[in-house]
Amino acid sequence: MHNLTNSVLSVVAILLAISVWVHPFIAGSPTPPPGGSPSAPAASPPAAAAADRYQPRLEHDPPVSGPPASAVADFDTFLGRLRAKSEDAVDSLLLHRDALERAEEVFVNTAGVLKNVMIERHSPFFTVDPEAIFALYYDLPTLERGLGLYQQHCSHCHGPYGRGNGGATHQWYAGNFPRNFWYGKFKSRSTQYGTAPTDSDLFRTLTRGFYGSTMPSFRHLSAQDRWSLVQFVKSLANFYDDYDELIVNRFDPEAAPEESTLLDIGEPPPVTLDSVIRGRILFIKNGCLACHQGTKAKPVGLARWEGGFDNWNDEMDRPIQNSRDLTNKVFLSGAAPSDLFRIITGGPNIGPMPNYHNMPQQDLWALVHYIQSVFKPDYPQAPPSVDAQAKPPAKSEAEQGGTATPSGSSETPSPPDNPSTAKRSQTPSD
What ranges do the domains of the chain cover? Answer: 2-40, 69-249, 273-400
Averaged pLDDT, 272-294: 94
pLDDT in the model for residue 167: 78
The share of the chain scoring above pLDDT 70, in percent, equals 72
Question: How far is residue 68's CA from residue 65's CA, in Å, rounded to a whole number?
Answer: 9
Range scoring the smallest mean pLDDT among 78-82, 174-178, 218-222, 233-237: 174-178
pLDDT in the model for residue 114: 65
Tens of pLDDT, residue by residue over 35-74, are 333 333 344 445 545 545 555 555 666 678 889 999 999 9
Strands 246-249 and 238-241, by their bridges, are antiparallel
Averaged pLDDT, 406-423: 37
Question: How far is residue 210's CA from residue 358's CA, in Å, rounded to a whole number?
Answer: 27
Question: How far is residue 48's CA from residue 321's CA, in Å, rounded to a whole number?
Answer: 35
Residue from 208, 197, 275 nearest 233 by CA: 197
Evaluate if residue 139 carries a pLDDT over 70.
yes
Regarding pTM above 0.85, the answer is: no
Tens of pLDDT, residue by residue over 334-345, are 888 888 999 999
Residue from 318, 302, 251 nearest 82 by CA: 251
Q: Which residue has the higher pLDDT, 5 or 85?
A: 85
pLDDT in the model for residue 272: 97
Query: What type of residue sits at position 407?
Result: S
Question: How far is residue 194's CA from residue 185's CA, in Å, rounded to a whole number?
Answer: 8
Band (142; pLDDT cuts 50, 70, 90): very high
Q: Kindly give the residue spans of alpha helices, DSSP state H, lying in 376-421.
A: 397-400
> Residue 394 in contact with residue 407, Cβ under 8 Å?
yes
Averaged pLDDT, 201-221: 87
DSSP secondary structure string for all residues of 129-181 = -HHHHHGGGTT-HHHHHHHHHHHHHTHHHH-TTSSS--GGGGG-TTT-PPP-G
Q: From its phi and psi, is residue 116 left (phi > 0), alpha (psi between -120 and 50) or beta? A: alpha
Residues in the chain: 430
> Residue 143 in contact with residue 228, Cβ under 8 Å?
yes
pLDDT in the model for residue 111: 73
3-class SS of residue 316: coil
As its CATH architecture, domain 273-400 has Orthogonal Bundle (1.10)
Band (202; pLDDT cuts 50, 70, 90): very high
Mean pLDDT (the chain) is: 78
Query: What type of residue sits at position 67?
Result: P
Mean pLDDT comparison of 143-147, 318-322, 402-406, 426-430, highest-scoring range: 143-147
pLDDT in the model for residue 13: 47
Same fold, 69-249 and 273-400: yes
Range scoring the smallest mean pLDDT among 121-135, 174-188, 371-385: 174-188
CATH number at 69-249? 1.10.760
